[in-house]
Homo-oligomer: A and B are copies of this chain.
Amino acid sequence: MLADQLKRIVDETPGAVGVILMGFDGIAVMQHMNEAFGERDLESIAMEMSFRFMELRKAAEALDLGPISDITVKAKSGTILCRVLSDEYFVCALLDDAAHFGKGRWILRSAAASLTEDL
C-alpha cells in the first residue's frame, strides 16, 4: 500500500518532517507527515520543486547531462530530497535536519521501485 510505504519512509528517516508523492504537473497523489514537527506545507514545497524539475529536465537534455534522477536543496529551515520515480511522478521528502541527508537519500532510492509499482 502506498500510504504504508510513505509512512515507513518517514518513520525510518531521522528528522523526516514528511514525504509526498507528486506528479510533475504539480498535483499531489498522497503524503504522510510526522505530526511531531507541526504544520509544514510540504505540498507547496513539492509543487515548487515540480516546476524546477521540469525546467532542469529540459536544460539537462540540452547540456548533455541526460535524465535527472535526484534533486536536493538544503535551506536553513529544511532539506528537500526529491527522487524521480517515472516520467510522470516523483517523491519528495522534507528533512528538518540535514545531518541524516545521506540516509534519507538512500531510503528514498530504495523505496523508489516499490513506490513505482503502486502507482
Q: Which residues of A contact B (CB under 8 A)?
A: 40-41, 44-45, 48, 52, 55-56, 59-60, 63-78, 80, 102
Choice from B41, B56, B59, B68 contacting A63 with Cβ under 8 Å: B41
Hey, which chain B residues are within 8 Å of A71, CB to CB?
71-74
Hey, which chain B residues are within 8 Å of A80, CB to CB?
65
Contact assessment for A72 and B72 in the assembled complex, using a CB-CB cutoff below 8 Å? yes
Main secondary structure of the interface of A (DSSP, over half): mixed
Contact assessment for A70 and B73 in the assembled complex, using a CB-CB cutoff below 8 Å? yes
Q: In the assembly, what is the distance between CA of A67 and CA of B78, in Å?
A: 10
Q: In the complex, which of the residues A59, A65, A68 has the most CB atoms of chain B within 10 Å of its own CB atom?
A: A65
The residue in chain B whose Cβ has the minimal distance to the Cβ of A83 is: B74
Contact assessment for B64 and A77 in the assembled complex, using a CB-CB cutoff below 8 Å? yes
Hey, which chain B residues are within 8 Å of A69, CB to CB?
74-76
Q: In the assembly, what is the distance between CA of A40 and CA of B64, in Å?
A: 9
